[in-house]
Amino acid sequence: ADNIGKKFNEYYTSEKNLLGLVDPSFNNILPNIQHIDLLTANPGNNIVTFVFGTTEAITFSVELTNLISKKTLNNVVGVLPGKTKPNEFVIFSGHYDHLGVGSPEEGAKHTSTDSIYNGANDDAAGTTAVIMLAKYFKKQNNNERTIIFTTFVAEEIGGYGAKYFSQQLAPEKVIAMFNIEMIGTESKWGKNSAYITGYDKSNMGQILQTNLTGTNFTFYSDPYPEQQLFYRSDNATLAKLGVPAHTISTSKMDNEPTYHTVDDEFETLDIDNMTQIIKSIAVSSSSIISGKDTPTRVNTTELK
In whole angstroms, how close is the CB of 200 to Zn ion at the nearest point?
22
- Looking at residues 58 to 77 of the shown chain, list those that interact with Zn ion (rule: CB under 5 A): none
Q: Is 264 in the site for Zn ion (CB under 5 A)?
A: no
| Least distance CB 165 / Zn ion (angstroms) | 16
The residue (of 123 and 293) whose beta carbon lies closer to Zn ion is 123
Instruction: State which residue, 256 or 293, has the beta carbon closest to Zn ion.
Output: 256
CA–CA gap between residue 159 and residue 165 (Å, rounded): 10
State in angstroms the smallest separation of the CB of 44 from Zn ion. 26
Stretch binding Zn ion (CB under 5 A), from 3-11, 76-84, 122-130, 196-204? 122-130
Of the ranges 29-37, 120-128, 142-150, 243-251, which one interacts with Zn ion (CB under 5 A)? Answer: 120-128
Contact (CB, 8 A) for 236 and 165 = no
Nearer to Zn ion by C-beta: 179 or 285? 179
Sequence-separated contacts (24+) of 64-67 with Cβ below 8 Å: none
Compose the 175-214 pattern: x for residues touching Zn ion by CB under 5 A, - for all others: ------x---------------------------------
Among 88, 123, 256, 264, indicate the residue that binds Zn ion (CB under 5 A). 123
Contact 93, 151 (CB under 8 A): yes
The type of residue at 276 is Q
CA-closest candidate to residue 46, choices 73, 19, 28? 19
Residue 122 as a binder of Zn ion (CB under 5 A): the answer is yes
For residue 97, state whether it binds Zn ion (rule: CB under 5 A).
no
How would you label 46-76 residue by residue, b for 16+ Cβ within 10 Å and e otherwise?
A: eebebeeeeeeeeeeeeeeeeeeeeeeeebe
**Please, what is the minimum distance in Å from the beta carbon of residue 122 to Zn ion?**
4
Of 296, 289, 285, nearest to 242 (Cα)?
296
Judge contact between 154 and 148, C-beta under 8 A: no
Query: With helix as H, strand as E and coil as C, how does 22-36 read?
Result: ECHHHHHHHHHHCCH
- Min CB(271)–Zn ion separation in Å: 19
Residue ranges binding Zn ion (CB under 5 A): 122-123, 181
